[in-house]
Amino acid sequence: MSAQIILKEEKKIITDVSNVMLDLKDLKKVYPTPKGDYVVLEHLNLQIMKEEFVTIIGHSGCGKTTMLSMIAGLNPISGGDIAVLGKPIKGPGPDRGVIFQAPSLMPWMTSLQNVLLGVKQVFPHGTKAQRTDIAKYYLQKVGLEDAFHKKASELSQGMQQRVGIARAFAIKPKVLLLDEPFGMLDSLTRGELQDILIEIWNKEKITAVMITHDVDEAIFLADRVVMMTSGPRAKIGDVLNIDFKRPRTRKSVLEHDNYYTYRKHLIDFLEH
């Protein structure tokens, strides 16, 4: 029903260039194999606005993670451009915070030390007390005020990922990249962490790009859901605008008239 309207709106947003935070232009990724080149991504174009939350959905192995790690600068670009605020990226950097699928905390450090590790890099001139305050603030935000001095290896998977969220927000990145951050959690913990994530995000409004397999998660969190075609030569297949008001609650989203239309749209795309 609304495909045309969505496309029109899409164009309207794109024309406002000064508002673009992240710009992927004609992005390409090739892995050389003995049987010739394997093209993972090709002609991938995507613009993400300031303060926008974009979720990316697509089949396993289509190259979502490849794209995200290219934006993070952890994976070299084979062709095209990635720019943050108009400046092409050069390798990884703390302006693009990443929440990995595995919590990736240093298990020998406490949760506070893990967050401080990043804070120290971004606020090198702050005093130790200031940095500790920042780290503690974000750990409180994710509900870990009782676990500052617990070793990361002693925390549950869900709690570790909370530290991962705190670490990512505490370095105040321009763009937050989330690679299926809740994929390894049980559904109850996942819901909790989605709420925590969206709560902090509402406050910080950091441009976010999140990969997910979960259609409901994609709709609940995003301003736009970007659907990727299946690989090889994956690109953007379709984009769906989610017009729910923020702040959102799970209840209001589920009860919204458009919820099932959006859901059907995404599932239709994934099943074709």
Partner 1 sequence: MKASSLTLGRVSNFLGFGFFTTLRNVFTGNLEKEDLKKFLRKVIVPLASIFLFILIWHIGAKTLFGIEAKFKIEKALEDQGQAAADALTACIASGESSCQPNTLPSPAQVWESFQSLLRDHHIISADKEAFIEKTAALNKTRIAAGKDAIVYTGRPSFVDQIFRSLQTVFAGFFLALLIAVPLGILIGLSSTLKSAFNWFIQIFKPVSPVVWYLLVFMIVKTVLIGSTEDSSFTISFISVGLCSMWATLVNTAMGVSTVDKDYINVAKVLKLGTFQKIFKVVLPSSLPLIFTGLKITLSVAWMVLIAIELLAQSPGLGLFVWEEFQNGANDSNAKIIVAMFAIGIIGFLLDRLMLTIQNWVSFDKQDAI
Binding footprint of partner 1 on the chain (CB under 8 A): 72-74, 91-94, 96-98, 100, 102, 104, 106-109, 117-118, 121, 151, 153, 171
State which residue, 179 or 217, has the beta carbon closest to partner 1. 179
State which residue, 96 or 235, has the beta carbon closest to partner 1. 96
State which residue, 97 or 231, has the beta carbon closest to partner 1. 97
CB atoms within 10 A of CB 31: 11
Q: What is the closest distance, in whole angstroms, from the C-beta atom of residue 263 to partner 1 in the complex?
A: 33
State which residue, 134 or 253, has the beta carbon closest to partner 1. 134
Q: What is the closest distance, in whole angstroms, from the C-beta atom of residue 158 to partner 1 in the complex?
A: 17
- Helix ranges (H only) for the chain are 3-15, 64-72, 111-122, 128-141, 157-170, 187-204, 215-221, 250-255, 259-271
Rounded-to-integer distance, Cα 269 and Cα 272, Å: 6
State which residue, 181 or 220, has the beta carbon closest to partner 1. 181
Q: Which residue do the tokens 């989605």 mark?
A: 194
Q: What is the closest distance, in whole angstroms, from the C-beta atom of residue 51 to partner 1 in the complex?
A: 21
The closest of 176, 175, 127, 247 to 164, measured between CA atoms, is: 176
Q: What is the closest distance, in whole angstroms, from the C-beta atom of residue 224 to partner 1 in the complex?
A: 24
Instruction: Report how far apart, in Å, the C-alpha atoms of 17 and of each of 21, 125, 158, 243 are.
Output: 9, 34, 38, 22
Q: Which residue do the tokens 């969505």 mark?
A: 6
Please name the amino acid found at residue 198.
Answer: I
**Contact, 135 vs 119, CB < 8 A?**
yes
Q: What is the closest distance, in whole angstroms, from the C-beta atom of residue 190 to partner 1 in the complex?
A: 20
